Structure 1
Amino acid sequence: MSAVEANFDGIIGPTHNYGGLSFGNIASDKNRGAVSSPRDAVLEGLGKAKALADAGLVQGVLPPQERPAVGYLRRLGFVGDDAAIIESSWMASPALVRNVYSASPMWAANAATVSPSTDTSDKRLHMTPANLVTTLHRSLEGAATERALQRVFPGRQFAVHNPLPMQSTFADEGAANHVRLCAEHGAAGVEIFVYGREGGELQSGHFPARQTRESCEAIARRHGLDPARCVFLKQSRKAIDAGAFHNDVVCVGTLNTLFFHEMAFADPEGARQAIRRAADGLFDPVFVEVPEDEVPIRDAIASYLFNSQLLSMPGEDRLMLNAPIECEETDSTREYCARMTAGNGPIGKVAFVDVRQSMRNGGGPACLRLRVVLTDEECAAVNRDCLMSDDLYAKLTGWAKQHYRDRLHPDDLRDPSLIEDSRSALDSLTGLLGLGADFYPFQRN
Structure 2
Amino acid sequence: MKSYEVNFDGLVGPTHNYGGLSYGNVASQSNSQQFSNPREAALQGLAKMKALMEMGFTQGVLAPQERPDVAALRSLGFSGSDAQVIQQAAKDAMPLLVASCSASSMWVANAATVSPSADTADGRVHFTAANLNCKYHRSIEHPTTTRVLKAMFADQRHFAHHAALPAVAQFGDEGAANHTRFCHDYGQAGVEFFVFGRSAFDTRYPAPQKYPARQTLEASQAVARLHGLSEDGVVFAQQNPAVIDQGVFHNDVIAVGNGELLFYHEDAFLNTEHMLAEIHDKLGRRGGRFRAICVPRAEVAVEDAVRSYLFNSQLLSRADGSMLLIVPEECRGNERVWQYLQRLIADDGPITEVKVFDLKQSMQNGGGPACLRLRVALNETELAAVNPGVIMTAPLYDTLTQWVEKHYRDRMSETDLTDPGLLLECRAALDELTKILKLGSVYPFQIN
TM normalised by structure 1 equals 0.98
Aligned to 1:440: 443
| Counterpart AA for 2:260 | N
The alpha-carbon deviation at position 411 of structure 1 amounts to 2.1
2:306 matches 1:305: no
Determine if contact 1:244/1:250 at 8 Å carries over to the other structure: yes
Determine if contact 2:184/2:260 at 8 Å carries over to the other structure: yes
What SS does the corresponding residue of 1:179 show, helix, strand or coil? strand
Name the CA shift for 1:203/1:255 in 2 (closer, same or farther; >3 Å).
Answer: closer
Name the CA shift for 1:291/1:204 in 2 (closer, same or farther; >3 Å).
Answer: closer
Which residue, 232, 235, 252 being the options, matches 2:236?
232
Aligned to 1:67: 67
Determine if contact 1:55/1:313 at 8 Å carries over to the other structure: no
Aligned to 1:182: 183
Aligned partners of 2:414, 2:391: CA distance in 1, in Å? 32
Aligned partners of 1:36, 1:328: CA distance in 2, in Å? 22
Aligned partners of 1:96, 1:76: CA distance in 2, in Å? 9
Give the number of equivalent residue pairs. Answer: 443
Which residue, 265, 280, 288 being the options, matches 1:283?
288
2:381 matches 1:368: no
Determine if contact 2:207/2:241 at 8 Å carries over to the other structure: no
2:97 matches 1:87: no
1:190-215 CA deviation, whole Å, 9 max, x = no partner? Answer: 00000000013585511000000000
2:385 matches 1:381: yes
**1:6-85 correspondence runs (5 A):** 6-85=6-85
- Bigger shift: residues 152-161 or 271-280: 271-280
Determine if contact 1:194/1:233 at 8 Å carries over to the other structure: yes
| Counterpart AA for 2:56 | G
Aligned partners of 1:244, 1:271: CA distance in 2, in Å? 19
The alpha-carbon deviation at position 2 of structure 1 amounts to 2.0
The alpha-carbon deviation at position 344 of structure 1 amounts to 1.3
Aligned to 1:170: 171
Aligned partners of 1:229, 1:344: CA distance in 2, in Å? 30
Aligned partners of 2:267, 2:242: CA distance in 1, in Å? 7
1:14-54 CA deviation, whole Å, 9 max, x = no partner? Answer: 00000000000000000000000000000000100110011
| Counterpart AA for 1:54 | E
Aligned partners of 2:144, 2:130: CA distance in 1, in Å? 11
Determine if contact 1:11/1:106 at 8 Å carries over to the other structure: yes
Determine if contact 1:190/1:230 at 8 Å carries over to the other structure: yes
Aligned partners of 2:278, 2:196: CA distance in 1, in Å? 15
Aligned partners of 1:362, 1:204: CA distance in 2, in Å? 20
| Counterpart AA for 2:419 | D
| Counterpart AA for 2:422 | L
**1:413-428 correspondence runs (5 A):** 413-428=417-432
Name the CA shift for 1:204/1:372 in 2 (closer, same or farther; >3 Å).
Answer: closer
1:395-444 CA deviation, whole Å, 9 max, x = no partner? Answer: 000000000000001221001111111111111101100011x2211122
Could you tell me which runs of 5 or more consecutive residues in structure 2 were left unpaired when the two chains were aligned: none
**1:198-277 correspondence runs (5 A):** 198-200=199-201, 201=203, 203=207, 205-277=209-281
Aligned partners of 2:255, 2:208: CA distance in 1, in Å? 23
Could you tell me which runs of 5 or more consecutive residues in structure 1 were left unpaired when the two chains were aligned: none
Aligned partners of 1:367, 1:342: CA distance in 2, in Å? 27
Aligned partners of 2:439, 2:288: CA distance in 1, in Å? 39
CA RMSD of aligned residues (A): 1.0
Aligned partners of 1:405, 1:217: CA distance in 2, in Å? 42
Aligned partners of 1:212, 1:204: CA distance in 2, in Å? 12
1:288-337 CA deviation, whole Å, 9 max, x = no partner? Answer: 000000000000010000000000124x4310000001101101110000
Aligned to 1:155: 155
Aligned partners of 1:439, 1:164: CA distance in 2, in Å? 21
The alpha-carbon deviation at position 280 of structure 1 amounts to 2.6
1:258-289 CA deviation, whole Å, 9 max, x = no partner? Answer: 00000110121122112112213221210000
1:113-148 CA deviation, whole Å, 9 max, x = no partner? Answer: 000000011100001000000000000011111100
1:79-122 CA deviation, whole Å, 9 max, x = no partner? Answer: 11011101111111111101000000000100000000000111
Aligned partners of 1:106, 1:41: CA distance in 2, in Å? 10
Determine if contact 2:153/2:159 at 8 Å carries over to the other structure: yes
TM normalised by structure 2 equals 0.98
Aligned partners of 2:185, 2:257: CA distance in 1, in Å? 13
What SS does the corresponding residue of 2:67 show, helix, strand or coil? coil
| Counterpart AA for 2:318 | M
**1:330-409 correspondence runs (5 A):** 330-409=334-413
